[in-house]
Structure 1
Amino acid sequence: MNDPTGQHGQFQPPPPPGMYTDPDGSGYRRWWDGRQWHPVQQPPAQDPGPGTARKVATWVKAHPKTSGGIAAVVLIAAIAGGSGDTDADPSPEQAADRSETVVQADVEKAGEVVDAEPAPVPVDTDGDGVTDDVDVRPDDPSIQTDDDIDTDKDGVPDHQDAFPKNAEFSRDTDGDGSADSIDDFPKDDRYTTDSDGDGVADSVDDFPQDASRSEITSGMQNAIDSAENYLDFSAFSRSGLIDQLEFEDYSTDDATFAVDYLDVDWNEQAAKSAENYLSFSSFSRQGLIDQLVFEGFTYEQAEYGVSKAY
């Protein structure tokens, strides 16, 4: 292997690491690490001048934390500037000077890394041990997280409480505004109440107070339609209208259901009936009351009807 001194015949110690003219005659420079050539060549450049090696040594001692990586880079960059003499190899003394060369601008930049601003001190305004940046209420030492907020003191945090201001209730699974504990359908937001406990919500139960049934049968519906037709052209008492439907062969149950389903004002029916009687015949007040009672009205309904028509 060639040594960078270019001297032969007499043994001399290898020169220190540095940039030297490549022995291949190309005129380029190559790094000698003290034992062998580095494979990468550098074009010729101007020598930054002797004596800079001492600057490197001094800077490394003053910056022990950053010198390991930065000094090596700065050292190579400085030396890579090269010498104006691209034909002659430097002497060992010149190589020593060059190996210590450093560029002052890079040294100052490295110092900026070492002297970086310290991290800001965390703030804990309420002194609860939790810093303000993660404390949901930095001015209240009793509250650090959302789990600490329980307005109604029911043991359920507000963010999990469907009724944060009512300690009696906390869960509303279906979100219908009715607490699970009083909602007959806690997982169905369409319904809330089932008065007769038959599994059918009152809002869709034709018999909300009767657990034995929940839907109107076809017979019931027909009886309702017939009852409405009779009431459109004549006045009836409750019992008189049921009798009429039974006469039409509706069962007593269907007829009774139909008459009650219509929610008729029987006092008004008594008044209409009294007017009908007086329209074609003469009656005493008491005689008209008796006639209405005979038609199935209660005595009170009859008195009301006669007082309206007489």
Structure 2
Amino acid sequence: MFRQVAILGTGLMGGSLAAALRARLPGVRLVGFGREPDISRAMELGLFDARADSVADALAGADLVVLAAPISVNCALVPEVAAHLPPDAVLTDLSSVKGPVVTAWRRTIAAMSDGAATQATPGLGDFVPCHPIAGSDRGGPDAADLDLFVSREVVLSPLPGNRPDSVERLQALWQQLGAHVTRMSVADHDRVFALVSHAPHAVAFAVAGAVAADGANPGRPDAAGKDAGAGKAVRDDGEEAPIRAGDHAGPGLLDLTRIAGSSPELWADILLQNQMPTLRAIDAVDARMQAIRHALLTGNRQALTRLLQEGADWRRTWQRHG
């Protein structure tokens, strides 16, 4: 098992990993490296045994190094991490997109080995990409949750040339933290999670934005040019108030848009880093919406019901077995 873990990034994901390791593998020494004020707060919370002021200091003596920052930061850290990675250490990441980090790693290795784009060079550690399917709409070390990964899927995307023991040790670690481990290729990972995570976040932000925009021009004409409403609601105390759709949102809208409470900066980063797979996923969702729109426009109840039923069937099956 690992003796010393360096976690680069001390927000929700890095903090939760530290908390889980602290609770379930108390013999592991934990070193944190991150920006202020997160790193200081993480130390106050007792998430780490020590803090490092540089990447080199963080990696000294580590046999597992975890990139736990936002994906663009993880990519930027790769060259410095590779320069200081102990020879027998395992490097992994928690990024929700795999392709850009793997590309950054391969380019760095090629540069360090005079252009030979091999997985690893003599004396350099081993990179095993990883993505825990867990998160929160909260962020920062105060949101750290030692049970965040319990009963959650963790995807490993081993690379050609990975040492078998590196992959096995990392898988065993996640299992000790209560996670279920799946392996898939980098390309398959980014395609799948564009559809089941990245596009849904884009949809949630879009719906929330549409609701936020409603009420900006109350009483505006509808599509037929008629007055859509006076723009005032009368409360039970007799007071009038402007009509804003969001003021009347129920549990359905709150469920749909919960993830729109996540960090826009973080999600802009994720969407851009997985650009093409996410565009294809958004196109797939848009094709469904256009089919639903056409069924509505033509009053085709049978087609509309079929389209809704296809989604309902998947949701109910997933709820039973997911």
> Shorter-chain TM-score category?
under 0.3
Structure of higher RCO (CA pairs closer than 8 Å, 6+ residues apart): 2
The structure where helix makes up a greater share of residues is: 2
Query: What is the TM-score normalised by the length of structure 1?
Result: 0.18
The structure where strand makes up a greater share of residues is: 2
